[in-house]
Amino acid sequence: MKKHNFSAGPSILPDFTIKNTAEAVVNFAGTGLSVMEVSHRDKEFMAVMDQATTLFKELLDIPSGYQVVFLGGGASMQFCMVPYNLLNKKAAYLNTGTWASKAIKEAKFFGDVVEVGSSKDENYSYIPKGYTIPADADYFHITTNNTIFGTEIREDLDVNVPLVADMSSDIFSRPIDVSKYGIIYGGAQKNLAPSGVAFAIVKEDILGKTDRPIPTMLNYKTHIDNDSMFNTPPVLPVFSALQTLIWLKDQGGVAAMEKRNIRKANMLYSEIERNKLFKATVKHEEDRSVMNICFVMNEEYKELETAFREYAISLG
């Protein structure tokens, strides 16, 4: 029997995705070859990339003027691609956790980084509020779901500069108003596909505003102009991503996912509240992630941690 995996990522994928990927590993689209053995320029794979891009746009209701690209290098590569392509002088970042800090570190290679707010003082257990974004910042970067600390920004912020969001661990978990963002990016290995592919939703008119020469592979324009086929894309993860997108549509899309996620999160949070063994780590309810529900054993039951873990393992 399949086991549960409560880890934030890489995480559980739909059976539909696993089964169809397993079949395509053996015989892809009736070609008599594995998806790992065909050319990415064969019409069968071109159709996969095309359909994945189209469904991605459809499911998130992405307006015109935006392009979706699939890239290698994970979300971590986006930490440097974003400033490489957008940062002229100054960028604003919200420091909400490990991944936000890593994004900040990379941006500093390209210009001034203003940390407009940080929750580091309290082990990232809340989302900073009431900060001011300098009007001359080239963009403002947020991490919508802080995978490790279990906080989430669940509204599409209205800000005075282009908004860039790392949505690695909450993409497709709720409807989003893409028009409020300049770039949304993430690794796919949480909600979409196995690791190996990242996605970026890019508003085309925010590109081309820096004088800095950008190496070909790190330039969003290269991948937009070549429909994610400038070089050999990660074909297997893209194939799997397509399966998840088909499944998502069949389930009712992101609105249905949001309902399902809220129901699951409420179930966990209310048990954590009720059960004296446990304590949620995020201070304010409104900051709590619907994606990864972080909790610890209460101080007086700390010594039961191993026993609890073993009990959970014994139940799969």
Catalytic residues: 99, 166, 190
> Which residues have C-beta within 8 Å of that of residue 270, sequence separation ≥ 6?
none
| Residue tagged 């970042």 (tokens) | 93
Instruction: For residue 260, say whether it is annotated as part of any ligand binding site.
Output: no
What sections of the chain are H helices per DSSP?
Answer: 15-26, 43-59, 74-86, 98-107, 220-225, 235-250, 253-274, 305-314
> Least separation, in Å, of the C-beta of 148 and ligand PMP?
7
Is the separation of the CB atoms in 34 and 24 below 8 Å? yes
10 binds ligand PMP (CB under 6 A): no
> Least separation, in Å, of the C-beta of 3 and ligand PMP?
20
Residues 190-219 interacting with ligand PMP (rule: CB under 6 A)? 198
Amino acid identity of residue 281, one-letter, is T
Residues 227-286 interacting with ligand PMP (rule: CB under 6 A)? none
Amino acid identity of residue 188, one-letter, is A
Q: Which one of 169, 191, 261, 289 is in contact with ligand PMP (CB under 6 A)?
A: 169
168 binds ligand PMP (CB under 6 A): yes
Query: Based on the number of CB atoms within 10 Å of its own CB, is 10 exposed (0-12), middle (13-18) or buried (19 or more)?
Result: middle
Instruction: For residue 251, say whether it is annotated as part of any ligand binding site.
Output: no
> Least separation, in Å, of the C-beta of 149 and ligand PMP?
10
Is the separation of the CB atoms in 197 and 234 below 8 Å? yes
Question: What is the rounded CA–CA span in Å between residue 42 and residue 50?
Answer: 12
φ, ψ (nearest 5 deg) of residue 49: -60, -40
147 binds ligand PMP (CB under 6 A): yes
Tell me the three state secondary structure of residue 72: coil
> 67-106 mask for ligand PMP (x: CB under 6 A)?
-------xxx----------------------x-------
> Taking each helix axis from N to C terminus, what angle separates 235-250 and 253-274, rounded to the nearest 10 degrees?
90
Segment contacting ligand PMP by CB under 6 A, of 17-25, 38-46, 56-64, 162-170:
162-170
φ, ψ (nearest 5 deg) of residue 311: -60, -45
Instruction: For residue 76, say whether it is annotated as part of any ligand binding site.
Output: yes
> Least separation, in Å, of the C-beta of 198 and ligand PMP?
6
187 binds ligand PMP (CB under 6 A): yes
Pairing of strands 278-280, 198-203: unpaired
> Least separation, in Å, of the C-beta of 10 and ligand PMP?
9
Residue 75 or residue 257: which is nearer to ligand PMP going by CB? 75
Segment contacting ligand PMP by CB under 6 A, of 31-39, 83-91, 130-138, 161-169:
161-169
Element (H, E) at 278: strand 278-280
Number of residues that bind ligand PMP (CB under 6 A): 12
Instruction: Note the residues at the interface with ligand PMP (CB under 6 A).
Output: 9, 74-76, 99, 143, 147, 166, 168-169, 187, 198
Which residues are annotated binding-site positions for pyridoxal 5'-phosphate? 75-76, 99, 147, 166, 189, 231-232
